[in-house]
Amino acid sequence: MRASSILLCLLLTGKVFAQESAGSGDPGWAMGAGTYGYVAAPIVLALAIGSEITKGDDLPALPLGGSAILISTISVPIIAAGGSTARTPERIKGSRLPAWVAYGGGLVSSTFLFVTGILGYTPTTPLITCNGLILSCSIILMAKDARLRGKTALKGKTADNNGTLDLRMVPIRNGGKLSLNYNF
C-alpha cells in the first residue's frame, strides 16, 4: 500500500486495511474459472458430436464444429488466467502443462478438419468427435488446475513468505497500534 492510501484510510476510518501478501488465502476468481471450465467442456463435446453426426451436410456441421473450436479457443486461456489469480504460497503441481499440450494439439487438428470441411472433404467417422474430446479434456484439465489453485489458496497454506510486507488491520483509535512487519 502506498503511504497516501494508508493516511487516507486512517483519516476516514481510523483503520489501516491490510494488503494481502502472496499466500494469503485469496482464491481470486480461480474457483469460478474452474467451474466455468466444467460447464464449457461438455458443451464443446456436444457441439463436436453434433458436427460428427451431421458431417454429411455442411450447413449444420461446419457451424457446430466452428462453435466448438471458438469456445475452446476462448475458454482455456480464460480458465488459465483465472487459475493464475489465486494467491498461493508455493508452486502447485497441477495439470497446466498437459492442458496446454492438449489445447495446442486439439486446436491445430480441429482447425485442419474445419478447413478441409470447408474445402469439401468429409473426414472419417471418429475424427471430429476425437478432436472434440481432446479439446474438452484440455478444458477439464485447466479447470481442474484452476480449482486446485483456488482450494489451496482457501486453505491458506503457509510457506516461507520471505521478503513480504505484511500490513494488518488494526484500530488506531482508543490506543491501538499500527502493525507493520517485514518478514526476513
If asked whether residues 93 and 143 sit together in one domain, one would say yes
pLDDT tens-digit profile of 8-23? 444 444 444 444 444 4
Statement to judge: residues 64 and 11 lie in one domain: no
Q: Considering its fold, how many domains does the chain have in total?
A: 2
Q: What average pLDDT does this structure show over 159-177? A: 48
Q: What is the share, in percent, of the chain residues with pLDDT greater than 90?
A: 53
Q: pLDDT class for 67, splitting at 50, 70, 90?
A: very high
Q: Could you give the angle at the alpha carbon of 17 between the alpha carbons of 158 and 6, nearest 5°?
A: 125
In this structure, are 171 and 144 located in the same domain? no
In this structure, the answer to whether residues 7 and 49 fall within a common structural domain is: no
103, 145: one domain = yes
Average pLDDT for residues 90-95, to the nearest whole number?
72
Are residues 2 and 57 located together in one domain of the fold? no
User: Domain check: are 89 and 10 in the same one?
Assistant: no
Boundaries of domain holding 146 = 27-157
Considering the domain architecture, whether residues 125 and 176 belong to the same structural domain is answered as no
Residues 85 and 174 in one domain: no
User: How confident is the model over 99-150, as pLDDT tens digits?
Assistant: 999 999 999 999 999 999 999 999 988 999 999 999 999 999 999 999 999 9
Mean pLDDT of the chain: 79
Q: Distance between CA 95 and CA 97 in Å, rounded? A: 6
Place of cell 487516507: 8
169/113 same-domain check = no
User: Burial of 135 by CB count in 10 Å (0-12 exposed, 13-18 middle, 19+ buried)?
Assistant: buried
SS3 165: strand
**Cβ–Cβ < 8 Å for 159, 89:** yes
**Which tens digits make up the pLDDT trace of 142-164?**
999 999 999 888 886 544 443 34
Q: Which residues contact 67 (CB under 8 A, 6 or more apart)?
A: 47
* Cell output for 168: 494488518
180 vs 165: CA distance, rounded Å: 8
Looking at the structure, tell me whether residues 63 and 108 fall in a common domain. yes
If asked whether residues 68 and 134 sit together in one domain, one would say yes
